[in-house]
Structure 1
Amino acid sequence: MRLKSVGMGYFLAIPDIISILNLVFGFLAILMVMDNHLTYASVCVLIAVVFDSVDGWVSRKLNRNDQLGFGKNIDSLADIVSFGVAPSVILYYIGLGISDWAAYLVAIVAIFTLICGILRLTRYNIISDRINYPGFVGFPIPATAIILVSYYLSGLFNIIVATILMLFAGYLMISTIRYPKVDNYYLIGFSALMIILLILPIDIFIGAVNLPALILFVLSLIYMFMTFLEFFIDTEEALTVENVNRNIVQAREITTNKFGLSLTSAQEAFKSMKDTINQVSSGEIVGENKEYSEEKNKIDEEDKLENISTGEVENE
């Protein structure tokens, strides 16, 4: 590669500018935390999520040919700041407001989540062009950020629950559990509407609960706990209704067959026990026992006569 071909104009495109805006709002979220404006910091993270969602769509619409992977790398670097560093700083600052020991514990969780996010993004850059799977391997890091900030904005925030969720999300990010891309336009539009309602100065509360934030939090949790569907997946195909239904049917058939075998064994055991009872009631077994007793008595009489003849009984 010639020196003059490494200028930014050679690499930079419109989707990359959108990724940079993602980075900008992630950095603004950190600044808001430093000024003790956690609500504004959470909103900045949500705005970063919007830009992160748009850059890929714009890239596809422009038919960008990013053979060198510049756009993929700048997107990942922006995600580290907006969805790794910023949420970790928010979580730590909340723990700092409780007590020193809580801040230490929360700091460990925040560092763990950040490291897992960096590892996940690095792995994605390596394997994205090498695997034939249209979804995500591991929990997406933007979804981790959405869970934390929507939970904080919901008005139901609890630091213990938040740390547990972040620990679980960190593990899922570095796992090999597959997550599908959300292609339902109605769901995407509804989630985008909730984010817009949180970004705009519109208060939609039921008591102390922020309704859009709570809805977004619940939707994110549902997506997060879709990992349990992994038990029904044994191929590298995407999560489709046909695949899931087919695997569920197979699981039901296996369960039915095992239950049928168990039921047959129980029926055979019951039949055997019933035959035994019938034999006893009909005297067959009693007759056999009687014949055995008579034969034993006969043997005892013969032994006694033999002892008498040899004089053993007299000596006694």
Structure 2
Amino acid sequence: MRLKSVGMGYFLAVSDAISILNIAFGFLAILMVIDNNLIYASLCILLAVVFDSVDGWVSRKLNRVDPLGFGMNIDSLADIVSFGAAPMAILYSIGSSISSWAGYLIAIVCMITLVCGLLRLTRYNVIADKINYRGFVGLPIPATAIILVTYYLSGLFNIAVAAVLMLLASFLMISTIRYPKVDNYYLIGLGALMILLLILPIQVFIGPINLPALVLFVLALVYMFMTFLEFFIDDDMTFDRDKASDKVSNVREITESKVSSSVTNVKDVFKNMKDTINQISNEDLDVGLKEDAEEEKEKEEKEVKEAEIVEEVE
């Protein structure tokens, strides 16, 4: 690859600009945590979720051709900041404000979650083009961030429950459990409306409970646990393009063998029929010739007898 062909103009597309907005709001969330403004930090992460959802849609609509995977890599790098580092900064800030021991324990939870998120994103980049499955393998890291920040904004936050949820999410991110993409427009519209209500200066509370945040939190939890039972399913059921190709090849080989065998059997049948017909024809011909020879012999004998009779009369 020539040096002039590695300029940013050669790689960047419109969808990458949206991914940059994703990481920008993730970085702003970290700055908000430093200023101890956790509500704004949580809202910045939700905005990053919006941009993360839009970049893939824009890329598909524009039919982007990205053979080098630049868009996939910039999206993953943005995700690890916005949905890995930023939410864990929020969680650590809350834990460290309780006590130093709580801060140490929460720091371990944050580190585990961040590492698992990194592993999940890296695995996705490696297997994205190698499996025949349209959804996600392992819990998507944006779902982990949504669970944490909406739980914090809901008004029901408990640091111990949050730590348990993040440890469970860490396991689910690196698992082989399949999660479908959310294509239901009603759910997408409901989620967008809830985020809009959280961002706008509109107070939608029932007592101390922030209703839009609670709705998003419940939806994220349902998505988190909806396919958890797949953990108990045999791994052989996982979609694998290579396995599917092998199965198709086996079916093709068996089919060709069956067809070849059938054709051979049909040929043998026709050959046997032809031999039988020829044999019958030859036998008929031999019988006919034999009958003709016998008639000729009888005719000759008759003529000889007639000649003898004539001679005796003379």
In the alignment, the residues of structure 1 paired with residue 193 and residue 129 of structure 2 have an alpha-carbon distance, to the nearest angstrom, of 32
**For 1:168-205, what per-residue CA distance to the aligned partner results, in whole angstroms no more than 9, with x for missing partners?**
00010001111111111111111111111111111100
In the alignment, the residues of structure 2 paired with residue 43 and residue 181 of structure 1 have an alpha-carbon distance, to the nearest angstrom, of 23
In the alignment, the residues of structure 1 paired with residue 109 and residue 116 of structure 2 have an alpha-carbon distance, to the nearest angstrom, of 11
In the alignment, the residues of structure 2 paired with residue 169 and residue 202 of structure 1 have an alpha-carbon distance, to the nearest angstrom, of 31
Matches for 1:14-53 after TM superposition, within 5 Å:
14-53=14-53
Give, in angstroms, the shift of residue 232 of structure 1: 6.2
In the alignment, the residues of structure 2 paired with residue 141 and residue 201 of structure 1 have an alpha-carbon distance, to the nearest angstrom, of 28
In the alignment, the residues of structure 2 paired with residue 203 and residue 23 of structure 1 have an alpha-carbon distance, to the nearest angstrom, of 28
Q: Kindly name which structure, 1 or 2, has the bigger radius of gyration based on alpha carbons.
A: 2
Conserved 8 A contact 2:131-2:239:
no
**For 1:212-257, what per-residue CA distance to the aligned partner results, in whole angstroms no more than 9, with x for missing partners?**
000000000000011334146863469xxxxxxxxxxxxxxxxxxx
Equivalent residue letter for 1:235: M
In the alignment, the residues of structure 1 paired with residue 141 and residue 201 of structure 2 have an alpha-carbon distance, to the nearest angstrom, of 26
Q: Secondary structure at the match of 1:131?
A: coil
Aligned residue number for residue 66 of structure 2: 66
Aligned residue number for residue 237 of structure 2: 235
State the 4+ residue runs in structure 1 displaced beyond 6 angstroms.
Answer: none
In the alignment, the residues of structure 1 paired with residue 205 and residue 137 of structure 2 have an alpha-carbon distance, to the nearest angstrom, of 36
Matches for 1:118-133 after TM superposition, within 5 Å:
118-133=118-133
Q: Secondary structure at the match of 1:139?
A: coil
Aligned residue number for residue 181 of structure 2: 181
Give, in angstroms, the shift of residue 73 of structure 1: 0.1
Aligned residue number for residue 250 of structure 2: none
Q: Secondary structure at the match of 1:68?
A: coil
Identity level (%): 76
In the alignment, the residues of structure 1 paired with residue 28 and residue 182 of structure 2 have an alpha-carbon distance, to the nearest angstrom, of 28
In the alignment, the residues of structure 2 paired with residue 142 and residue 54 of structure 1 have an alpha-carbon distance, to the nearest angstrom, of 13
Q: Give the structure-2-normalised TM-score.
A: 0.74
Residue 231 (structure 2) pairs with residue 225 (structure 1): no
In the alignment, the residues of structure 1 paired with residue 2 and residue 203 of structure 2 have an alpha-carbon distance, to the nearest angstrom, of 55
Unaligned runs of 5+ in 1: 239-316
**For 1:30-88, what per-residue CA distance to the aligned partner results, in whole angstroms no more than 9, with x for missing partners?**
00000000000000000000000000000001000011100000000000000000011
Q: Secondary structure at the match of 2:105?
A: helix
In the alignment, the residues of structure 2 paired with residue 200 and residue 166 of structure 1 have an alpha-carbon distance, to the nearest angstrom, of 28
Q: Give the structure-1-normalised TM-score.
A: 0.74
In the alignment, the residues of structure 2 paired with residue 163 and residue 229 of structure 1 have an alpha-carbon distance, to the nearest angstrom, of 22
Count residues in correspondence.
Answer: 238
**For 1:115-169, what per-residue CA distance to the aligned partner results, in whole angstroms no more than 9, with x for missing partners?**
0000000000000011111010000000000000000000000000000000000
Conserved 8 A contact 1:132-1:236:
no
In the alignment, the residues of structure 2 paired with residue 235 and residue 176 of structure 1 have an alpha-carbon distance, to the nearest angstrom, of 11
Matches for 1:113-262 after TM superposition, within 5 Å:
113-230=113-230, 231=232, 235-236=237-238
Q: Secondary structure at the match of 2:227?
A: helix
In the alignment, the residues of structure 1 paired with residue 6 and residue 96 of structure 2 have an alpha-carbon distance, to the nearest angstrom, of 45
Equivalent residue letter for 1:22: N
Q: Secondary structure at the match of 1:97?
A: helix
In the alignment, the residues of structure 2 paired with residue 54 and residue 236 of structure 1 have an alpha-carbon distance, to the nearest angstrom, of 28
Equivalent residue letter for 2:37: H
